[in-house]
Amino acid sequence: MSNALLERLRIAYPIIQAPMAGSSTVPMAAAASNAGALGSLAFGASNAAQAREALAQMRGLTAQPFSVNFFCHWPAELDADKDQAWIRHLQPYLDEFGGEIATPLKEIYKSFVADRAMQTLMLEQPPAVVSFHFGLPAPAVIQELKQAGAFLIATATSLEEARLLEAAGIDAIVAQGIEAGGHRGVFDEHVDAEIGTFALVRLIARNSRLPVIAAGGIMDGDGIAAALQLGAQAVQMGTAFLLTKESSANEAYRTMLNSPRAEHTRISAAISGRRARGIVNRIISEIGAPSAPAIPAYPAAYDAAKQLHALASAKGDHEFAAHWAGQGAALIRDGYSTAELIQVLVEEWRVARNRIQG
Ligand SMILES: Cc1cc2nc3c(=O)[nH]c(=O)nc-3n(C[C@H](O)[C@H](O)[C@H](O)COP(=O)(O)O)c2cc1C
């Protein structure tokens, strides 16, 4: 099968290990790239100094192409009244675990759009691929990155967003379906078309010149073959990698993923301030209940959630964690290294592809 995207990316297999801020690691990304897939470093929760260190570590572990990923949300407009109302809403839980939340809530992660130090680092040491989530940086930054030789990828959750990416000069589109684990890549947090991966891949493949990378609910070789059959040139898989040896998912997260509770995921903005899919736990079902007051902006709400989670987990309660996972979570496999998982996925994909091609 000819695949222009793989040639452009100089990778052997149509698999991108999704950037997963908080869960993917440099060793995971390096192992994915060394195994012939595209490894991704998630810098959405990093500052420029941390990113510089991660890049150096990565370059020590692989000479293969890799991707780095940024969040491009509109910088948070901090609103003290909204924050106070939210903390009042959290008070019963603070009483339950005996603690307080430090205020004012902070912008714990800086958006790439406002982080010139990070932009400069990318221009000094351009990786093969730079990817964006939650929209795009300014046109001038896109231009600079392209001139520096980076191949640019960005997430779209609708045809409308895909058209904006194409017009902005992006090179390939991640079609993120509603099944996907983690944050919805929607540009405007108040607008979500909620399209499934199946329909979204077809919509973008039919209407865009750009290569499509399918994301959301793909957990095995059959899923990869199906996505490619629909017109995607590669897949981006996140949840599938959460139980690999290189994942930084902690014991509680791993236990949850290995339990029947992985069959129940839901999208909620109550954890971070932006909608994201995770395994249903108390922070999603109780704190994010429809009766909740307005949620502070991303990432101020995340600051509150992380503080609450720290108080709860100190008492052995992990119900307030961000256990991000996609709708296919119950298909997750345990016990593999990243390289072994990629090998299994490739073998399964080849079998499925031969079956489809008859
Ligand atoms: C734990 C977790 C963290 C994620 N963090 C990021 C991130 O930092 N940047 C990003 O672009 N996408 C992130 N995503 C979304 C993935 O890029 C991708 O859309 C998603 O994993 C695909 O769905 P799947 O989880 O069903 O494979 C994350 C997903 C998960 C599961």
Q: Which atom of ligand 1 is nearest to the CA of 18?
A: 17
The contacts of residue 202 (CB under 8 Å, 6+ apart) are 230, 231
Structure tokens at 263: 């069959």
Residues 204 and 340 in one domain: yes
Residues 176 and 279 in one domain: no
Model confidence at 308: pLDDT above 80: yes
Dihedrals φ, ψ of 202, to 5°? -65, -45
What average pLDDT does the structure give for the chain?
97
**Are 134 and 20 members of one domain?**
yes
Residue 358 binned pLDDT confidence (cut-offs 50, 70, 90)? confident
Please compute the mean of the pLDDT values over residues 173-194 and round it to a whole number.
97
Q: Which atom of ligand 1 is nearest to the CA of 277?
A: 31
Tokens of 130: 């730079």
Tell me, yes or no, whether 239 and 270 share the same domain: no
Tell whether 203 is covered by a domain. Answer: yes
Residue 254 lies in a domain: no
Note the pTM of the prediction, 2 decimals.
0.98
Q: Which residue's C-alpha comes closest to atom 31 of ligand 1?
A: 181
Residues 129 and 214 in one domain: yes
Q: Is residue 208 a part of any domain in this protein?
A: yes
DSSP states of 249-297 as a string?
A: --HHHHHHHTSGGGG-EEEESTTTSS-EEEE--HIIIIIT-TT--PPPP
Ligand 1 site, residue 68, Cβ cutoff 6 A: no
Number of domains in the chain: 2
Task: Give the model's pLDDT for residue 1.
Answer: 47
117, 211: one domain: yes
According to the model, what pLDDT value does residue 290 have?
86
pLDDT surpasses 90 at 77:
no
* Whether residue 59 is found in the same domain as residue 12: yes
Q: Is residue 244 part of a domain?
A: yes
Q: What span, in angstroms and rounded, lies between the C-alpha atoms of 341 and 344?
A: 5
Q: Is residue 232 part of a domain?
A: yes
128 plus 185 within the same structural domain: yes
Whether the Cβ atoms of residue 6 and residue 65 lie closer than 8 Å to each other:
no
Q: Is residue 5 part of a domain?
A: yes
Is residue 61 located within the same domain as residue 195? yes
Residue 301's domain comprises: 76-109+259-331
Residues 103, 182 within the same domain: no
Which of 183, 220, 247, 333 best tests ligand 1's pocket when mutated (most atoms within 8 Å of CB)? Answer: 183
